[in-house]
Structure formats: C-alpha cells, structure tokens
Amino acid sequence: MPAVFDALPGQEVPVGGISAGFKKIWADSPAQESRAVQLNLVLHLGSNTTPPDAVEQFQNTLKFAHRYPCRVVVLCPDFGETAPAEIRAKIYGECFLGKSKDDTRCVEFVILHYTEAARRYLENQVSVCLSTDMPLYYWGHRFSATKRLAEYGYLLTRSSRILFDSAVVPPDTFTFPWPNIAAVRDLAYTRTLPLRQNLGQFLSRYAPALINAGLQKVTIRHRAQFAAEASCLLGWVKKGLARAGAGPVAFEVTPVDCPGCFSMEFTYADPKKIFKWEADLSADHAEFTGNLGTGQTTLVAAAHFLAPEAALSEAMFF
C-alpha cells in the first residue's frame, strides 16, 4: 500500500505535525476564517485498491466536498506482516466557491499510511485527526476480507453511516455482523436511485392489483459490469411486489453482451399484459412499454446512475 499512499496528492508531514501543517497551509489563504466543516469522513482503502483507483476515489471525495465541506481521513494500510511499526502522514487542503462569491467551502485531507505493526496505534491517531463535535462517516473501499473489518470497531460503532460498494467487496459483506446494521449503506444500491425513481413513477400509474394479477416472472438483463446494481434493483423489485401483496413470482437476473444494456420485464399468464423497461445507460436513454389491462402506454425517459459524489451524499444523508 505504500504505492497508494505515494500516489495520492498532498504534502508529507510528521504524524505529530499534522495540525501545524494545516496552520501553515491556511496561513496565507483568504479562506482561513471560513473553513468550518460539516462532517468527518474516513475513507478506508482496502488491499484491492490500486493507485489509480485510490486517486479516483480521492477525486470523487473532493467533488463531494464541494457541497459538503469536510475533514477526510484516508487510511492506507500496509499488509506486509514483517514491516516495522510505522505511520506516515500527508495533508492536503483546498477551497472552492459555493453558490456565491461569499460562500467559500473547504476540505482537508489527512492521509495515513500504516503498517500492521502500527495498527494498535491507529484509533488514537484517527481520533486526533477528526474534527471534534462533527458527525463521523466511514467508507470501506475494496476490502478483500470482511473479517478484518472487526478490527476497526472504533469506526464501525461511532459512525453515523457505514458505506461500502457491493460491486467491489466480498459477497459475505451482506452477512457480516455489523454492530449497527441500520447505519449500513450500499453505494451500488444508491447509484440506482434514478432508475428506481423512473421505474416507480411509471408503475405507480397502475393499481397494485393490476400489476400483481397473473404476474409469473420478473426478468432483469444487464451488462456483466452492472451485476451489483442489477442485484440491488432485483431486491428493490422484490420488496415492492411483496408490499403490494403479489403472490409467488419467479425472478431471473441474466447478464447480456451489450455495452450499456439494462432492462426489466414482467411476464404474465395473459400474453396481452406487458411491462417492459429497456435502457441504454451509455446513451442515458430508456423506453417503457406497459399494458396491464388499461390500454398500452409508452414513455421515453433518461437512464443513468448517480454520479459517485452524488451517490456518496445520498448514502450518507438519506
């Protein structure tokens, strides 16, 4: 993980000199009197994180901070078991204009690289780096083994939200004994918000009885890269149908060889009943076709995932 630490921007400082380093960064800044932050975010980069991926997540967090000024602590663990105890630190600060010239928003990054031998000192160091009296959010990115999460009880129990992305973490993340399961959010599910909104709006024009009557099967087809999002969308559909009182229904999720493809189809005992949603995410385009007994309806709509920074805010606050 030293390569990840080295790839991230920032000025390296002694671990004990983080506060002094920020004072120096902001000393000549016109924003030095308006750097109030709204929250703390710990971005924990797992062993499957590559340097380019780490830089991408850094940039996504920076975009998030344009709307929500924050103190970000990025953890870069070194998994070499024989490495001596060591914690290295970098700091990075940036300000940007908000909705007006008087609306200045700032973000502060503390980037910590630590070896396994220094792991027992980490909680104390993180607590020192966080802004006091501000809510804490934890984002575990690309971790390879859920059992290692148990070592970070300090973060799992204190955080208002715990974020992970089911597209890039082990499948057993869903069965991990989270200390507060109500605080856990899946970024893959959050990314599908625009799709769920459009599907829900279209289906809401039909009474639940019309949707349920004779429904035999729900099929979701997707590009292989969208497997996590397809699984999340399937779970959403299952819950919705259950709440609407649907009877036994078969479900199928099938990958297809198509660059931006995502689709959903309901199969009914009556072949005249139709519901289809066919999307091309690469073109931000979707088409609905529905005929559930009240005449055929078609609709063209947008189809896209939430941007990464928007998915972060949605997962944290909603």
pLDDT one-digit tens code per residue, 5-43: 999 999 999 999 999 999 998 987 766 666 678 999 999
Same domain, 145 and 251: no
Whether residue 167 contacts residue 229, with contact meaning beta carbons closer than 8 Å, is answered with yes
Name which of 236, 152, 161 is nearest 193 in CA terms.
Answer: 236
Same domain for 182 and 211: no
CB 54 within 8 A of CB 142: no
Q: What per-residue confidence (pLDDT) applies to 263?
A: 97
User: Which residue carries 């000549």 as its tokens?
Assistant: 28
- Report the CATH number at residue 39: 3.40.50
* Structure token pair of residue 142: 């690309």
Instruction: Classify 45 as helix, strand or coil.
Output: strand
Same domain, 114 and 229: no
**Contact indicator for 119, 152 with CB cutoff of 8 Å:** no
Q: Of 146, 163, 187, which residue sits at a domain end?
A: 187
Is there a single domain that holds both residue 149 and residue 290? no
Q: What is the pTM of this model?
A: 0.94
CA 102 – CA 159 distance, rounded (Å): 31
Between the two ends of the chain, the Cα-to-Cα distance in Å is 33
Structural domain including 259 reads 193-301
Q: What is the largest CA-CA distance in the chain?
A: 72
- Among 187, 205, 222, the domain-final residue is 187
Give residue-wise pLDDT tens across range 163-209. Answer: 999 999 999 999 999 999 999 999 999 999 999 999 999 999 999 99
Domain tally for the chain? 2
Work out whether strand 161-164 and strand 39-45 pair parallel, antiparallel, or are unpaired.
unpaired
Domain co-membership, 123 together with 260: no
The secondary structure of 111-142 as a DSSP string is: EEEEEGGGGGGHHHHHHHHSPTTS-EEEEEES
Residues 232, 195: Cα–Cα separation, whole Å: 11
